[in-house]
Structure 1
Amino acid sequence: MALALINNTLYALVPVETQAGWLELADICKAYLSGPEHEKLHDYLQDDVKAVLVEKSYIDKDYRDTYSNFYSKKFANRPSTAYRLHFFNCLIPAEHLFSLDQYKDNYIGYSVIRPTQLNAIGRTILDPCKLSRITGMTCATDFSVHLFGVKFTVKGFPYISQDSDVTICAHAAAWMAFRYFSERYSAYREVFPYEITQLSRNVSLGRLLPSKGITAYQITEIFSNYGFYPEIYSNTQYPDNFYRLLYYYIESGIPVVACTTKHAITIIGHVSDYNLTATNNNSEDYLTGYVANDDNHWPYQLVLRRGLPESGHCSKLKIEDLVCFISPLYEKMYLSAEHIEGLTDKILEHPSFGVNAVSKLVPKDKLIKRIFLTSSRSYKKFRRENPLPFGLQDYYLQLPMPKFIWICELSMGGFYPNKQIVGEIIFDATASHRDRFSFLAIHYPDFILFNDRDALGDAPNRFKYEHLAANTIQSYAMYINNLREI
């Protein structure tokens, strides 16, 4: 039985270890949550949630934004507050409600229920590591929640569903990416749903509300007006490497908005199977699917390659259904994924410092490339904690680097499944793609080269290199920081 605090309009604690508890929750939320949406909630969380704390009359900043700018202007009266459901993976006795500190580790997250009748699921933050049937590597950051004076922290990726009036799928997908960035990085401001719809004003035909749908180019304009420098990729523009380019950005920890011909989703992570063979000598060969937030479903859905068996929470969409994606980039990320792929191949094949030219230990055709973008600060911190052979991490710690760097890690079939690599090429992300000396360092198991980025042209002193006294390959830790393992 639900416990009402003070009176029946504030909070209710509902144990949901039985079907009767879920029915009681449905009855409490019936004014806001429709039967079909309650079924989705039940099906998604029934294996993991044991107690739900219902916070009524919750002032949700995202719903209040759309209420003030749209719903308050309608003839039919609509509540200005929402419900917020807090999920725990254990039962909570009624007498412990005002001493919730002991349940911090049991807190899964929350979901806002909007009084919009249709598509009521609002801002939702769930920890994927506390949900069964979810696997992979995802973008994640910390979100703070306060209950009865207790601060809870949820590590996850934000989710919201379209309300179909103010926002449609593309707006919801953009909101998820924006809220992730604003919560993780102080450089990005928090933006609300109605404002997102207005960011495409200059490229829209007709009125913006009620929303009727937007194009991929309008999504790009939304990203630009928010403050990003987005790149848009289509499968017709890049027929040979479209899916690899998508993978590079996801491996970089950059959530992207991906589109089918009729829908938009936010891709936030990936799932790989290391029992596969890297037939193209690329880490993308191990990919079996992407982790995505699709506003038609609950978060952390798997978008698999066509033909693979489904397990866990799988979307009906397949990777092959994606026709374009928009990647939000920082201002000074001048080199894009397609450039790095070409530059890497040129270096590995170079007659003077290519792998076959200077390394006796690693043949080029055995290498597996893993390409990603990261911050130099994060990379140096990781390398200080995870050293390289011959103490090379000390050179990396001293090496001047821009704020962001592209890295192509080099591994081999026997090392990659164990998250071990044998070398890397580090690129200056601010370089021009026409710059043949855009790299900062080249490292093979028995060779290291540093490039002075301030040197002009073919200056004889721009390179410093050394042949390392290695008779066998010494592997070391793969860089793992952009994504969180579930």
Structure 2
Amino acid sequence: MSFFIVSIIDPDLEDILGQIVGEDFSLSRDRAQLLITKEVMRHLKRFHDDTKIVIERNYVDKVYRDSYYTYYASKRTSYGRDAIKLSFFSDVADQIRIDTFKKTDKVTFLEESYRGFIVLRPTPPYIVGRSAIAPNLLKSNSFKTCLAYMPSTAVGLKVCAQAFPFSSQDTETISCAETMIWALMEYYGNKYAEYSPVLPSQILNILKQNIVERQLPSSGLSVDSMSYLLKECGFGPKLYSRKEFASDFNMLLSCYVESGIPVIIALDNAEAVKNKKIERLIGHAVLCIGHEDITEDTVRTITSEDFPLKNGKGVLKIKDWDTISKKFIFIDDNFPVYQADSLDMPTKRYLDIPESEYTDAEAKKKADKEWAACKISHFIVPLYKKIYLEAYVAKKFVKELLSSEYFEYADNREIHIRTFLCSARSYRKYVMLSDMPDKLKSLIMEKSFPKFVWITEVTSHWTAFGRTNGVVILDATEANTLDYRPLIFAICNGFIVQYDKNTKSIASCQITGCDFSVFDKNLKKLS
């Protein structure tokens, strides 16, 4: 049979998968069973107990077939062309059987129950291939992340799951860097019409003109090569280095993640190797796509930064949302999807790998030391090519604007700000459907917007979490900050401040106070 359905809590699940993988991938039963236990079950054990798995044999996977004809088919060792697909459904009422897929009145139920898939490819030991897992399939999903609708099929039925693409590297046709580029383009290609997914062979072709040595088997990519790839795929990428941005580095990364932009992260332990604390150099690429849920207690811990008021009468204390100490969500091809770690310890998950995964205790101790020394050295932001105002300049501009004479903040006044990038279309929709006063809606909607804008929400106190009483809107296409040119509209502390592009000057007026809900559409949460 080509299709099987099994419950994720079936005590024979590992044996069933081991037998199928052994037969389809021409592996010994023991080898197949070991692969299932070590590589597949660590994914499945995170899923809800009511999950049903549809197992499809002889599956033609577009990504693996591309790697197969580009590379594996030319090897002496025989590799199969077909893969195995595991499709996941939430089945609380235990209704799903093979016959369920034959009933027209069950189509809507099946579509709503679908939670994603994992493809197993015949490239042991790295058999976990193209995947898309909805966060609400996980037992623990207290986070917000970037999600796109990922289309697929199960038993011939067209289905779709909100997920972020994932795959493990096969170490030969794609390393961690190519895998992250593939995942990012799969995300953007399924979410926006301007972009298209790419296959491993297309990545090789794009890089062909700039590579001076063989491309296969893959030896990884530099941050410059990854940035070049994104540029050739239609983005206007911005590369940030910790060395250049120092104390602002983590804050800028957080700002882009808050904007709903998947960020490519470069990890290495080069500093520790340079200082001769360890010998083996590690270089790794991951994606940062979201963060854990933020509570009011967490918001209270933000420390303020003093900005001198331009009127010379004291300081404005600004608490920046991007300085909150929180865990971020990573896509790491060495681990199951949606891993949570802090930016200061981005490889902590490697330290939690059990000793049984190593040859001995000494090997575990050495690996822990090597991975613990890894830090984020660079990150690459895949910006829309017409966005010219980057985060560092935008955030600095807003803080200087808020401390100007236009808003008349008193000495030692404390405010909270949250800055993010979003499309004008999304923000206009939010404005019209929000609980803003109608007069404020009209003022904002009358403005001429570019395709993307920087938004800074300003609130007076942490108890207003989820609410704001001020906003600054900047033109993301205006990189020249002379004469406050990026400013489109601002309302804070009872003052409206606007930039007149005809006279190239600022206009200010007073208004009665207002209070409205925050914009919360960039990152998604499924529960």
* Same fold, judged at TM 0.5 (above): yes
Following superposition, the deviation at residue 145 of structure 1 comes to 2.1
1:264 is aligned, of 259, 272, 285, to 285
Per the TM alignment, residue 120 of structure 1 is displaced from its structure 2 partner at its CA by 1.4
What does residue 469 of structure 1 align with? 512
- Contact kept, 8 Å, 1:274 with 1:286, in 2: the verdict is no
Distance in 1, matches of 2:509 and 2:209, equals: 55
Q: Retained in 1: the 8 A contact 2:166–2:183?
A: yes
Q: Which amino acid aligns with 2:48?
A: D
What corresponds to 1:4 in structure 2?
Answer: none
Kept in 2: contact 1:245–1:337 (CA 8 A)? yes
Q: Distance in 2 between matches of 1:320 and 1:410?
A: 35
TM-superposition CA deviations, 1:285-325 (whole Å, max 9, x none): 334111111000111011225589x99x9899789821110
1:453-468 to structure 2, matched below 5 A, reads: 453=501, 455-458=502-505, 463-468=506-511
Matches within 5 A, 1:10-29: 10-29=2-21
- Structure 1 residues 141 and 188, CA, compared in 2 at 3 Å: closer, same or farther? same
CA shift for structure 1 position 456: 4.7
Give 1:59 shift: 1.2
SS at structure 1 position matched to 2:55: strand
User: For the residues of structure 1 that align with 2:209 and 2:297, how far apart are their CA atoms?
Assistant: 49
Q: Which residue of 1 aligns with 2:379?
A: 325
1:423 partner amino acid: G
Distance 2:8 2:133 in 1: 17
Structure 2 runs not aligned, ≥5 long:
26-31, 269-282, 305-318, 354-367
The question of 1:483 aligning with 2:526 is answered no
Specify which of 221, 231, 234 is matched with residue 241 of structure 2. 234
1:303 equivalenced with 2:341 (yes/no): yes
Q: 1:246 aligns with which of 253, 257, 267?
A: 253
3-state SS of paired residue (1:322): strand
Letter in 2 for 1:43: R
Q: Which residue in the other structure is 2:80 paired with?
A: 79
Query: Contact 1:166/1:197 (CA < 8 Å) preserved in 2?
Result: no
Structure 1 residue ranges without an equivalent (≥5): 1-7
Partner of 1:447: 495
Query: 1:348 touches 1:364 (CA, 8 Å); kept in 2?
Result: no
Amino acid at match of 1:42: M
Q: Could you say what secondary structure the match of 1:95 adopts? A: helix
Residues 417-453 of structure 1: CA deviation (Å, up to 9, x unaligned): x311111111001102443321101111412122233
- Contact preservation (8 Å) 2:345, 2:372: no
Change (3 A) 1:303 1:209: same
Taking the TM superposition and a 5 Å limit, the aligned residue runs for 1:414-429 are 414-416=462-464, 418-429=465-476
Q: Alignment partner of 2:87: what SS?
A: strand
Letter in 2 for 1:48: H
Distance 1:20 1:147, change over 3 A: closer
Aligned to 1:48: 48
Counterpart of 1:15 in structure 2: which amino acid? Answer: S
Q: Which residue type is aligned with residue 291 of structure 1?
A: I
Is residue 136 of structure 2 the alignment partner of residue 98 of structure 1? no
Pair 456,432 (structure 1): closer, same or farther in 2 beyond 3 Å:
farther
RMSD, matched Cα: 2.5
- Superposed structure 1 runs of 4+ greater than 4 Å apart: 31-34, 305-308, 313-320
Q: How does 1:60-459 map to 2 (within 5 A)?
A: 60-90=61-91, 91=94, 92-99=96-103, 101=107, 102-261=109-268, 262-271=283-292, 272-276=294-298, 277-280=301-304, 281-304=319-342, 321-351=375-405, 353=406, 355=407, 357=408, 365-389=413-437, 391-416=439-464, 418-435=465-482, 436-453=484-501, 455-458=502-505
Kindly tell me: are residues 62 and 447 of structure 1, through their superposed partners in 2, closer, same or farther at Cα, counting changes over 3 Å?
Answer: same
Determine what percentage of the aligned residue pairs are the same residue: 25
Q: Give the total of aligned pairs.
A: 461
Does the CA-based 8 Å contact 2:331-2:339 persist in structure 1?
yes
SS in 2 for 1:484: coil
Q: Deviations over 1:16-43 (max 9, x none)?
A: 3232223222322235466245444323
